[in-house]
Amino acid sequence: MSPTHERWTPRFHLAPRQGWLNDPNGLCQFHGTYHVFYQAAPAWPASGKKGWGHFASRDLVRWEDLGEPLVPSIPEDADGVYSGSALVVAGGAPDGGDLLRLYYTGNVKYEGDHIHNGRDANQIMVTSEDGISLSEKKVLLRPKDYPSDLTRHVRDPKVWEQGGRYYMVLGARRSDDVGDVLLYESSDAVEWAYRGRIESRHPFGYMWECPNVIQVDGHDYIVVCPQGLPSEPTRWQNLYQAGYFPLPRGILATTQVDETSFVELDWGFDFYAPQVFKDEKGRCILIGWMGMPDADYTSAPDGLAWCHCLTVPREVTVGEDGLLRQWPVTEIDGLRGFAEPVSPSAGAILPHHCADIELLGIEGNLEMGLDGQLELSFSASEGLLRMAFADEKAASGRTERVLPLTALHELRVLVDGSAVEVYVNHGEEVLSTRWFPTADTLLVTLHASCESARSWEMGGEPPRA
């Protein structure tokens, strides 16, 4: 690995040792261990069928790479093990212990356009009693089990338990090219019956991918990734979006949402396919893919043996306005070294591109730069926070993202190799992006009025075997 490529290797963001990574899958805590599965294509940049990679951790910061436990192996997933979720069933194992169920979409392609014909999407399950060894695959739903008005795009099962019953949502694209979510119900999490669907009042994109259900503090939300929304100057700026609809009546009583209530989860260049789970402490934790499907930017510079990473685990809470907040789990704070001041008029030089930068009590305008390549700026008069690349090489095809913001009080910026996450006003908003620094040290420039500005060098080793 070249020195430059080594600089881009994250220390505390999950990234593959080799190949391509995208959607996080099967997130859970099982027998005290956190499990993060993900879409994996180890042969990248050569072509290859996707399976699931697997990371495991006891503390959300030190991870073990357990390889690729799920790969295409039966006719119903012959062309790819696609995204899905995890369900921990208390007492579900034959010996009375807990059982882990993993659900995913098996992809099969034939001749055709692979949208309206030429594809099968099968929902498949495997189980595990230890989180490592997996059972034989069991096909649960086939195309005949879906409503007749759909295209061949039905995928990404999210399964949860509620009130002694089990429920599954699937992302779908209708034959009239409108996206919605299918809802299934089960008594045993194996045999499923179609219950209905959740759709928008008016068409809102042609496909809703990666549905997830967030239930926190008595509030319900449905997370979806709409494809086909028209990009606008201050919203829907990525090729595809990731966000949520609040569900005041609850997930099971909702059949229609108002598309104007859609809230974007992240305003950066690189965020998609988020998945949530509850850990044994009762926290609602979200992890997203720091990437974007089908985007025309250069997602990794030439010669890099791996591509993409995941966000840090974020705890999701509800604000007084009923909207979601995201904040790095407290375990991330344990990676901090000694605090160093950042001059509000000059900045600081940090020895590595691995830092946690915190600004508190911000007043008025702000300008902040990383290596003179990635810039954050806030205009109080315009009410806009901008993330922009000033250096084309570091940008790797990215340009600018704009966040409407009434006021800026706090910023927390996580820098980790080729990953940057910006938390605004203690997680009211987030901007995530990949970048590819060229300097050996991290130069932070800052021009702002703030009560406190400091940074920590972040420790830890790359999360790899």
* Residue positions annotated with a catalytic role: 23
Q: 49, 55, 52, 48: which is closest to 15 by C-alpha?
A: 55
Do 357 and 452 contact (CB within 8 A), yes or no? no
Nearest Cα residue to 318 out of 328, 331, 327, 329: 327
Please check whether residue 401 is in contact with residue 390, taking contact to mean a CB–CB distance below 8 angstroms.
no
Backbone angles phi, psi at 6, to 5 degrees: -65, -35
154, 172 contact by CB (below 8 A): yes
Mention every residue, 6+ apart, whose C-beta is less than 8 A from residue 64. 55, 56, 57, 465
> Which DSSP string corresponds to 33-74?
EEEEEEEEETTTTS----EEEEEEESSSSSEEE----B---S
Please state, in angstroms and rounded to a whole number, the distance separating the CA atoms of residues 272 and 181.
17
Q: In degrees, to the nearest 5, what angle opens at C-alpha 378 toward C-alphas 373 and 379?
A: 130
Q: Please say whether the beta carbons of 434 and 9 come within 8 A.
A: no
Written as six digits, the tokens of 45 are: 């940049």
